[in-house]
């Protein structure tokens, strides 16, 4: 059996605790490469950088920091950095859930979606908590799900969005995306964002 290749990305930056926990959990499944934004790029959805140059910072053979979005990271991984296409792309672990309309704005989900667009099985994973950022249970579940997908595959174009509650995982429920909107808008914020600012309020908001 050939060694499986796994690409990891996120929208919180390559040094975020969630992606570090995810990398450790997937290490036993195959050859893991982390290619992720150099800084936090939350709420960038599936956007690409058109008007700014993209920088690739090679940390080592398995870690690359990208001066762009999660989608930029996936595209550069597939077509410039990796010598072979990965068998699986995993995006996360995000601190805070990505549910309802939040998935439209989420860079975490956007990175996984981009992989699916290019024919690579993928899933996004988020810890549905902001108060207890213990990523160990979500990371362990990510490894279980990754192993199952690597063995059984996914239908072409399918991307899974996984939200793991706090604590030990006691089961899995497949559900439909809700239509809950969990943002409030405020005018006249201080600082650079002086126009319309989107402020996440419930379930950790958009990440």
- pLDDT score of 194 more than 50: no
pLDDT for the residue 47: 83
Q: Which residue has the higher pLDDT, 16 or 48?
A: 16
Q: Which two tokens stand for residue 154?
A: 């996914």
pLDDT for the residue 51: 87
DSSP codes of every residue in 107-171: HHHHHHHHHHHTT--EEEEEES-SS----HHHHHHHHHHHHHHHHH---TT-EEEEEE-SS----
H/E/C letters for each residue in 149-166?
Answer: HHHHCCCCCCEEEEEECC
Q: Which two tokens stand for residue 108?
A: 């975490």
CA dihedral 25, 29, 32, 37 (to 10 degrees): -40
4: DSSP letter? P
- Per-residue pLDDT tens digits for 100-129: 778 888 899 999 999 999 999 999 999 988
- pLDDT score of 190 more than 60: no
Across 1-10, 103-112, 195-204, least confident range: 195-204
- Residue 140 to residue 151: CA distance in whole angstroms: 17
pLDDT for the residue 181: 58
**Mean pLDDT (whole number) for 148-160:** 94
The separation between the first and the last C-alpha atoms of the chain, rounded to the nearest angstrom, is 37
pLDDT tier at 204 (50, 70, 90 boundaries)?
A: very low
- Residue 34 to residue 171: CA distance in whole angstroms: 28
pLDDT for the residue 198: 44
- The SS3 of residue 46 is coil
Query: For the chain, what is the mean pLDDT?
Result: 86
pLDDT tier at 53 (50, 70, 90 boundaries)?
A: confident
pLDDT for the residue 1: 57
pLDDT for the residue 166: 84
- Residue 203 to residue 23: CA distance in whole angstroms: 25
Helices 17-26 and 136-152 meet at what angle, rounded to 10?
A: 50
């Amino acid at each position: 059996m050939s060694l499986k290749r796994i690409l990891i990305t996120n929208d919180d930056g390559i040094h975020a605790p969630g992606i570090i926990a995810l990398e450790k959990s997937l290490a036993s499944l195959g050859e893991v490469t982390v290619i992720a934004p150099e800084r936090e790029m939350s709420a960038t959805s599936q956007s690409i950088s058109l008007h700014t140059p993209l920088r690739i910072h090679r940390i080592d053979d398995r870690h690359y920091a990208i001066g762009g979005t999660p989608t930029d990271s996936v595209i550069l991984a597939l077509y410039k950095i990796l010598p072979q296409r990965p068998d699986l792309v995993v995006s996360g672990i995000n601190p805070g859930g990505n549910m309802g309309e939040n998935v439209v704005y989420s860079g975490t989900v956007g990175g996984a979606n981009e992989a699916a667009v290019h024919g690579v099985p993928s899933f996004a994973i988020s810890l549905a908590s902001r108060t207890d950022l213990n990523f160990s249970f979500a990371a362990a579940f990510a490894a279980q799900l990754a192993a199952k997908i690597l063995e059984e595959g996914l239908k072409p174009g399918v991307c899974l969005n996984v939200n793991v509650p706090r604590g030990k995982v006691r089961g899995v429920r497949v559900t439909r995306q809700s239509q809950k909107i969990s943002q409030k808008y405020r005018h006249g914020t201080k600082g650079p964002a002086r126009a319309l600012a989107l402020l996440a309020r419930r379930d950790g908001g958009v990440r």
